Amino acid sequence: MIQFETLIGIEELSKEIGLNKYTIYKKMRENKFPKGIKVNGKRMFKPDMILNYYKELGISVKLTNN
């Protein structure tokens, strides 16, 4: 059985976590934010990846798409 994971684009992620997409890109370059994956040239993120990142920082985050 094939299981598909939900992916969030950078624009949607930006709105969800309240960070400008350019800030997210800057943090990725500094290795301070998950890099996500590229799909057809677009940066996408797994919700679990983002939730785990913030959990490790001790910050509670809820994504509405998750």
Confidence of residue 49 (pLDDT cuts 50, 70, 90): very high
| Rounded (10°) angle between helices 21-29 and 10-17 | 100
pTM: 0.81
| pLDDT score at 63 | 84
Segment 10-36, tens digit of pLDDT: 999 999 999 999 999 999 999 999 999
Residue ranges per domain, the chain? 8-56
Nearest to 16 by CA among 27, 5, 24, 26: 24
Are 12 and 49 a contacting pair, CB within 8 Å? no
